[in-house]
């Protein structure tokens, strides 16, 4: 299902579903970076309060293992929304070395430009990585509960159809490491809201399954179930490997989902 690419202490997770298509991608993990507690050690995001120089060094290291120059990375300024930005060559490097130049107010990044590396950042929210091997396009959607409720994966696929001519039947999707239904306790009101929208299977007792909600959105839009992979990692259970907003009490780093052609 997945492989781990190791270089020095860095461990990047890659998924066969996307590897088989030749799509460059990974989920970063915590070891092998330079950030100090509570961000130790491969914190990939600036907005956490970590030393920006440490974040730059961490990103350089991860990009190097993946074989991309950091200048080709493009990041969005995530706001738990459903806005889409189609990344072109002119965007290369936006948000790569600072927070200010990132694509503002954007949780969904798409591109069909080879050499661009899309980046988004996580500590419990759901990374949704998308690839269209026919039209040669990729994307990433940052789906917390708000993005899930806004059906951000649907927005991503609608935009891929509009901009790249993507047919949803061709799309492969990885639902990445995120807080699992084992650890994501929510209010009664939130349970009701999600049950109404996605069906009762997304709630287990007091727990919400955000990944399943996103999978349901993807299937409703028309992505074949066999082309959707949910990664078997809970960020809260495996907090030594990933960052978890809940498990670490809010003050922590972010791992990254990276994808490019």
In the complex, which residues of this chain contact Zn ion (CB under 5 A)?
180, 182-183, 234, 236-237
Task: Decide: residue 249, CB within 10 A, 0-12 exposed, 13-18 middle, 19+ buried.
Answer: exposed
155 or 239, CB closer to Zn ion? 239
| CB count in 10 Å sphere of residue 105 | 12
Q: Shortest Cβ distance from residue 42 to Zn ion (Å)?
A: 21
163 or 233, CB closer to Zn ion? 233
Strand partners for 140: 109, 129
Give the C-alpha separation, 92 to 79, whole Å: 21
13 or 159, CB closer to Zn ion? 13
Q: Shortest Cβ distance from residue 201 to Zn ion (Å)?
A: 18
Q: Shortest Cβ distance from residue 244 to Zn ion (Å)?
A: 9
Q: Shortest Cβ distance from residue 28 to Zn ion (Å)?
A: 19
213 in Cβ contact with 202 (< 8 Å): yes
195 or 237, CB closer to Zn ion? 237
Q: Which residue's Cβ lies closest to Zn ion?
A: 234
Give the C-alpha separation, 5 to 228, whole Å: 22
Structure tokens at 165: 């001519």
239 or 254, CB closer to Zn ion? 239
Q: Which helix (H) or strand (E) holds 141?
A: strand 137-143
Give the C-alpha separation, 41 to 77, whole Å: 22
111 or 236, CB closer to Zn ion? 236
Q: Shortest Cβ distance from residue 108 to Zn ion (Å)?
A: 26
Angle between helix axes 210-221 and 188-198 (nearest 10 degrees) is: 20
Q: Shortest Cβ distance from residue 140 to Zn ion (Å)?
A: 22
């Amino acid at each position: 299902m997945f492989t781990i690419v190791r270089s020095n202490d860095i461990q990047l997770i890659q998924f066969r579903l996307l590897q088989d298509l030749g799509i460059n991608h990974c989920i970063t993990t915590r070891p092998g970076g330079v950030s100090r507690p509570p961000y130790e050690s491969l914190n990939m995001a600036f907005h956490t309060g970590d030393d920006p120089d440490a974040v730059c060094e961490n990103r350089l290291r991860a990009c190097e293992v993946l074989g991309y120059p950091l200048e080709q990375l493009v990041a969005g300024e995530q706001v738990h929304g459903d806005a889409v930005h189609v990344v072109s060559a002119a965007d290369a490097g936006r948000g790569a070395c600072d927070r200010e130049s990132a694509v503002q107010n954007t949780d969904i990044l798409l591109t069909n430009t080879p050499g661009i590396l899309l980046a988004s950042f996580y500590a419990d929210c759901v990374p949704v990585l998308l690839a269209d091997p026919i039209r040669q396009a990729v994307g990433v959607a940052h789906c917390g509960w708000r993005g899930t409720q806004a059906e951000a994966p649907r927005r991503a696929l609608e935009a891929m159809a509009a901009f790249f001519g993507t047919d949803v039947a061709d799309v492969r999707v990885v639902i990445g490491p995120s807080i699992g239904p084992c650890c994501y306790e929510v209010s009664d009101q939130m349970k009701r809201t999600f049950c109404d929208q996605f069906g009762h299977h997304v709630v287990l007792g007091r727990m919400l399954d955000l990944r399943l909600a996103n999978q349901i959105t993807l299937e409703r839009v028309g992505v074949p179930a066999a082309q959707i992979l949910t990664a078997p990692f809970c960020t809260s259970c495996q907090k030594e490997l990933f960052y978890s907003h809940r498990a670490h009490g809010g003050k922590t780093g972010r791992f990254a989902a990276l994808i490019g052609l």
